[in-house]
Amino acid sequence: MTTGLGTVLISEGEIRRRIAEIGRQISKDYAGRTVTLVGILKGSFMFLADVIRAISLETPVEVDFMSVSSYGDATTTSGTVHIEKDLGISIDGKDVIIVEDIVDTGLTLLHVYNILSARGARSLRVATLLEKPGKSRYDRPLDYVGFKIPNKFVVGFGLDYAQRYRNLPDIRVLDDEA
Residues with active-site annotation? 104
Q: Which is nearer to ligand IMP, 58 or 139 (CB)?
A: 139
Least gap, CB of 101 to ligand IMP (angstroms): 5
Strand order, beta sheet including 2-10? 2-10, 171-177, 154-155
Distance in angstroms (rounded) separating the CA atoms of residues 4 and 175 = 5
Among 43, 48, 50, 129, interactor with ligand IMP by CB under 6 A: 43
Q: CA 117 from chain center: how many Å?
A: 17
Among 108, 112, 144, 157, interactor with ligand IMP by CB under 6 A: 108
CA angle 57-48-176, nearest 5°? 155
Tell me: does residue 55 bind ligand IMP (CB under 6 A). Answer: no
Tell me: does residue 39 bind ligand IMP (CB under 6 A). Answer: no
Tell me: does residue 103 bind ligand IMP (CB under 6 A). Answer: yes
Q: How many CB atoms lie within 10 A of CB 98?
A: 25
Q: How many residues bind ligand IMP (CB under 6 A)?
A: 16
Tell me: does residue 107 bind ligand IMP (CB under 6 A). Answer: yes
Please report, as residue ranges, which positions from 141 to 160 form the binding site for ligand IMP (by CB under 6 A). 153-155, 159
Among 23, 39, 106, 146, interactor with ligand IMP by CB under 6 A: 106
Among 101, 115, 116, 124, interactor with ligand IMP by CB under 6 A: 101
Tell me: does residue 36 bind ligand IMP (CB under 6 A). Answer: no
Output the CA torsion sign for 28, 61, 168, 130.
Answer: negative
Which whole-number Å values give the CA distances from 160 to 46, 59, 107, 141, 163, in the listed order? 12, 31, 18, 25, 5
Distance in angstroms (rounded) separating the CA atoms of residues 135 and 133 = 6
In the beta sheet, which residues pair with residue 67? 85
Least gap, CB of 71 to ligand IMP (angstroms): 11
Residues in contact with ligand IMP by the rule CB under 6 A: 43, 70, 100-109, 153-155, 159
